[in-house]
């Protein structure tokens, strides 16, 4: 009989720790916890799991983390309308939603910079990912890919309506296929977001997926569909971020790419930004940053990686009016 069970727990608001549990005795012993310099107090933070309702009635999970003393507790929709309490906190929402990838939820010391300033951070487990198994992935790919985008929009709308953040200060982030998500939702609902942070975004869907000479194109048919078939062509064109850009007022955007990216070629985000600059009717910042040394994952050095995060956070804080 096993008398001791080792357990490692990733919790968004708590530094990673290891427990030893004796099930029979009902006793747990803390063996080790990651040390966070600077006076970190885990009791100041809270995490939640809430559900948003997609347009087709499906319940979409959202993981939340925030600093308890920096925000107002969630309140009802009617209370939000009667008071100004919904304007208490900036809201950051991240998602990916492709390839059956389950969004990992765990502690990150980097987030403390935003959490300690009162930002509520949310991670939407939208369809196209694998968070609820293979059917969850299947419900967000190929000819039902638009579920991914409407799930994300529903998540943001739910969070602001429930009082988790200020509707006027919503920032969103995604990378690679998550960058496609950013481009698609901004085309669908540009009014919903204050700022967009898009890393190595897959935004030129049609030109990429019609070029079979690229190494990843043909295998990707199983995720997006084959645009050489008319049905898939028209469906993919309907959400391709580059192709669906139009004259409109867009949020502030920081688009990042890497010269040596072999998965999303640097010219995709470059031409996307160039086209958007000719169409957007607002004066909000539209920034393109190209890392001349990195690949798809960005800078690999420890300090270079942290500098990239600091740059991203500086952009977000400026847009939140907190810089």
Give residue for tokens 């050489």: 228
Give residue for tokens 């809270």: 46
Task: Give the residue-averaged pLDDT of 59-66.
Answer: 97
Known catalytic residue: 261? yes
Known catalytic residue: 176? yes
Residue 116 pLDDT level (bands cut at 50, 70, 90):
very high
Give residue for tokens 């869907």: 205
The residues, any chain, with a CB within 8 Å of residue 309's CB and separated by 6 or more, are 110
Residue 85 is given by DSSP the state G
pTM surpassing 0.75? yes
Q: How many CB atoms lie within 10 A of CB 63?
A: 18
- Grouping H, G, I as helix, E, B as strand and the rest as coil, residue 102 is coil
Q: How many CB atoms lie within 10 A of CB 173?
A: 21
DSSP characters over 16-53: EEEEEEETTTTEEEEEEE---TTT--GGGEEEEEEEEE
Known catalytic residue: 151? no
pLDDT value at 18 more than 90: no
Q: What is the pLDDT of residue 7?
A: 45
Q: What is the pLDDT of residue 15?
A: 56
| Active-site pick, 131, 204, 226, 261 | 261
Helix orientation angle between 146-161 and 230-239, rounded to the nearest 10 degrees? 30
Region label for 21, one of left (φ > 0), alpha (ψ between -120 and 50) or beta (otherwise): beta
**Taking the mean position of all CA atoms in its chain, how far away is CA 268?**
20
Please, what's the largest Cα pairwise distance for the chain?
Answer: 69
What is the rounded distance in angstroms from the CA atom of residue 207 to the CA atom of residue 194?
Answer: 29
Task: Give the residue-averaged pLDDT of 283-297.
Answer: 84
| Active-site pick, 176, 198, 240, 258 | 176
| Active-site pick, 116, 138, 296, 299 | 296
The partner residues of 160 in beta bridges, in order of sequence, read: none
């Amino acid at each position: 009989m096993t008398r001791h069970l080792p357990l490692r727990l990733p919790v968004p608001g708590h530094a990673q720790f290891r427990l030893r549990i004796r099930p029979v005795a009902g006793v747990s012993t803390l063996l080790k916890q990651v040390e966070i310099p600077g006076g970190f107090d885990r009791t100041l933070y809270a995490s939640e799991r809430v559900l948003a309702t997609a347009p087709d009635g499906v319940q979409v999970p959202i993981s939340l983390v925030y600093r308890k003393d920096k925000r107002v507790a969630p309140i009802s929709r009617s209370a939000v309308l009667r008071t100004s309490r919904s304007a208490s906190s900036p809201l950051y929402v991240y998602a990916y939603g492709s390839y059956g990838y389950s969004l990992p939820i765990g502690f990150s010391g980097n987030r403390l910079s935003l959490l300690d300033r009162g930002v509520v951070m949310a991670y939407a487990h939208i369809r196209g990912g694998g968070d609820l198994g293979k059917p969850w992935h299947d419900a967000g790919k190929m000819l039902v890919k638009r579920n991914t985008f409407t799930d994300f929009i529903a998540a943001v709308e739910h969070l602001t309506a429930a009082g988790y953040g200020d509707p006027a200060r919503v920032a969103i982030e995604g990378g690679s296929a998550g960058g496609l998500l950013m481009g698609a939702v901004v085309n669908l609902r540009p009014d919903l977001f204050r700022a967009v942070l898009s890393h190595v975004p897959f935004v030129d869907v049609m030109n990429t997926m019609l070029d079979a000479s690229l190494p990843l194109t043909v295998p990707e048919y199983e995720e997006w569909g084959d645009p050489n078939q008319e049905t898939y062509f028209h469906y993919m064109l309907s959400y391709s971020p580059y192709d669906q850009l139009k004259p409109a007022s867009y949020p502030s955007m920081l688009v990042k790419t890497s010269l040596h990216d072999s998965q999303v070629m640097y010219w995709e985000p470059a031409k996307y930004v160039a086209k958007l600059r000719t169409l957007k009717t607002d004066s909000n910042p539209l920034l393109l940053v190209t890392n001349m040394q990195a690949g798809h994952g960005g800078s690999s050095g420890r300090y270079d990686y942290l500098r990239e995060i600091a740059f991203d956070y500086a952009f977000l804080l400026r847009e939140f009016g907190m810089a």
